[in-house]
Structure 1
């Protein structure tokens, strides 16, 4: 069965850590493709700092040079709150022959009990769990809540890049460079659109 990875997120902005973990998961798990899915509105985040279409544009620019990466507009076009379970159910219906792998950071997975229809999600998708620097996942506690994760997940150790969109926005607001932290095309787009200014 063909394996395809999904990396969802606000990507506000997308940066090299996103790309690195996607590539790591692709190689380690033998994924034929990684699909980046920008959210329209992330249910566990209070606000976005750029529009869904700006984040979509940055994501397309960021992945342009990797033929194994693609972008889906499924959540942006659906608009409203983006629930992962809705996306996975749609993908399963459209392409039932694919084994879908959600690529998630250990810090995000720690909040799995707060995700909409989390138990259903664990039944439909596999999880590629990337360790997040400075964060210790309470794996036994998570397995107590979601025992099926033991058979439907793989924990991946690297690469450990301590980089966040929050940090990048702060740098941009302070007039500091983000070159070598985001792809050049993304940095140019941010400058052209005058995003994340104080």
Structure 2
């Protein structure tokens, strides 16, 4: 039985912190595999800054030297109505029926789920397991404790809370802004992705 983490994000673009986070989670939670899942531009709650093709290519470039990391364009291929985290996790639980599936997310998303901002949040929390990464200014235990939804499904296995030990945040937004301003974000993202963005004149 393998332990598989699903790491969904816009990856617009993927950053070195995305990779460091995935590596830290895989090590700390003994994951056999981390699936990088770029979200679709068809999602109504997301606004992308470049095409799916470019984000997909950059994710593949970024992870190509790590055998534990794989990329999956599953969400990019789905119809807009079917793109929810609940449906996505159901897909992976069916695909890897004999394995343990975990959804990797930041504490900010835990807050949103607890506040009822996600679709199918009751079934999402009831039927799945989560690895939650600390974010500055968010008390994860208090977030769970003050939400009836999260608290009533916290059986000790639902949420694996991780303090990464280093408050390092490099946002994709900042990198995009640096490119737009003709700045130099070279060492904030993989070299292959930096070169790809330069070659294709992205985020200008």
Q: Deviations over 1:97-136 (max 9, x none)?
A: 1111111011122111211111212233211110123444
The answer (yes or no) to whether the contact 1:35–1:71 under 8 Å persists in 2 is yes
TM-score for both structures, normalised by structure 2: 0.89
Closer/same/farther in 2, CA of residues 57 and 132 from structure 1, 3 Å limit:
same
Shift of 1:73: 1.2
Pick aligned residue for 2:118 from 115, 118, 143 = 115
TM-score for both structures, normalised by structure 1: 0.92
Closer/same/farther in 2, CA of residues 22 and 43 from structure 1, 3 Å limit:
farther
The answer (yes or no) to whether the contact 2:39–2:76 under 8 Å persists in 1 is yes
Partner in structure 1 of residue 153 of structure 2: 148
Closer/same/farther in 2, CA of residues 80 and 169 from structure 1, 3 Å limit:
same
Alignment gaps of 5+ in structure 1: none
Q: Deviations over 1:67-123 (max 9, x none)?
A: 100001111111426311111111112221111111101112211121111121223
Alignment gaps of 5+ in structure 2: none
Shift of 1:170: 1.0
The answer (yes or no) to whether the contact 1:40–1:79 under 8 Å persists in 2 is no
Considering only aligned residues, what root-mean-square deviation do their CA atoms show, in Å?
1.6
**Structure 2 residue 164 is the aligned partner of structure 1 residue 163:** no
**SS of residue in 1 equivalent to 2:6:** strand
**SS of residue in 2 equivalent to 1:34:** strand
Aligned length: 195
Closer/same/farther in 2, CA of residues 118 and 69 from structure 1, 3 Å limit:
same
In structure 1, what is the Cα distance between the partners aligned to 2:96 and 2:171? 32
Shift of 1:191: 0.9
In structure 1, what is the Cα distance between the partners aligned to 2:71 and 2:195? 20
In structure 2, what is the Cα distance between the partners aligned to 1:66 and 1:182? 15
> Which is further off, 36-45 or 87-96?
36-45
In structure 2, what is the Cα distance between the partners aligned to 1:131 and 1:37? 20
